[in-house]
């Protein structure tokens, strides 16, 4: 019951975000993603990501994002019953990350280099709901022009079971402040579920709704299919 309630609330909140956008141009995209974590010590690990973006209109590759990061955790978090089944802990109550990402737009020659840094405190709310507040700053070079973004994200998840299968439903909302416009330019809503099949593998599926207000009004409805590997 709690799983169904959390997923229903997430879908309603995610869909409701589109009301703000009004009569925007709306597109559909597929976001396959591969995340790989390599543990260096109990408090540190490497994180690599590959995200190709596929247009839902003509099913062509429109963008590719590649990245590598170092994560460091402080104040270990006590494992819950289901957490012992896989290695998806984000290292501790407080996690810091630094890294580099490159975004390539297919067919246009446009590229973006991005240095990223974030700090994420996490703690448990009642009913074993995990709350995380990621505070990320992107230092960006778009075609050689420098700018930065501040990206706070609220994340809620709760581990549960459907029969013998462990599941992790979640919902999040992320806000983007862009120095190019001096304003909050984008909001991204996401709801989904991860299904850890072992300590090393956790597939995930989600629905995302991205609402851009600047430089132009645009809404993207995305289906995300993610595989996370832990070593």
Quick one: pLDDT at residue 3?
44
> Which portions of the chain are predicted below pLDDT 70?
1-24, 76-91
**CA nearest to 17, candidates 208, 215, 225, 176:** 208
Quick one: pLDDT at residue 89?
57
Quick one: pLDDT at residue 19?
46
Its pTM stands at: 0.85
Q: Would strands 183-194 and 218-230 be described as parallel, antiparallel, or unpaired?
A: unpaired
Residue 114 and residue 100 in contact, taking contact as beta carbons nearer than 8 Å: yes
Domain span including residue 35: 2-230
Quick one: pLDDT at residue 62?
87
Residue 108 and residue 142 in contact, taking contact as beta carbons nearer than 8 Å: no
What are the pLDDT digits (tens) for 143-192? 889 999 999 999 999 988 888 888 999 999 999 999 999 999 999 999 99
Quick one: pLDDT at residue 121?
92
- Number of domains composing the chain: 1
Find the CATH number of the domain harbouring 52.
2.40.160
> 16-53: buried (b, 16+ CB within 10 Å) or exposed (e) per residue?
ebbeebeebeeeebebebebebeeeeeeebebebebbb
């Amino acid at each position: 019951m709690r799983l169904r309630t959390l997923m229903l609330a997430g879908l309603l909140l995610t869909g409701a975000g589109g009301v703000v956008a009004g009569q925007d141009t709306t597109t559909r995209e597929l976001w396959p993603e591969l995340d790989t974590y390599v543990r260096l010590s109990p408090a540190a690990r490497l994180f690599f990501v590959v995200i190709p973006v596929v247009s839902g209109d003509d099913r062509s590759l429109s963008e590719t994002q590649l990245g590598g990061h170092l994560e460091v955790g402080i104040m270990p978090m006590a494992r819950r019953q289901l957490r012992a089944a896989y290695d998806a802990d984000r290292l501790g109550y407080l996690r810091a990350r630094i890294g580099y990402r490159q975004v390539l737009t297919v067919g246009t020659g446009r590229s973006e280099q991005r240095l990223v840094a974030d700090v994420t405190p996490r703690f448990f709310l009642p009913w074993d709901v995990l709350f995380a507040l990621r505070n990320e700053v992107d230092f960006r070079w778009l075609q050689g022009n420098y700018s930065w973004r501040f990206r706070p994200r609220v994340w809620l998840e709760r581990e549960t079971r459907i029969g013998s299968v462990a599941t992790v439903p979640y919902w999040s909302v992320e806000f983007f402040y862009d120095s190019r416009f001096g304003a909050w330019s984008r909001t991204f809503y996401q709801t989904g579920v991860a299904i850890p099949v072992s300590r090393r593998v956790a597939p995930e599926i989600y629905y995302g709704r991205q609402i851009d207000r600047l430089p132009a009004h645009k809404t993207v409805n995305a289906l995300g299919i993610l595989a996370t590997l832990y070593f």
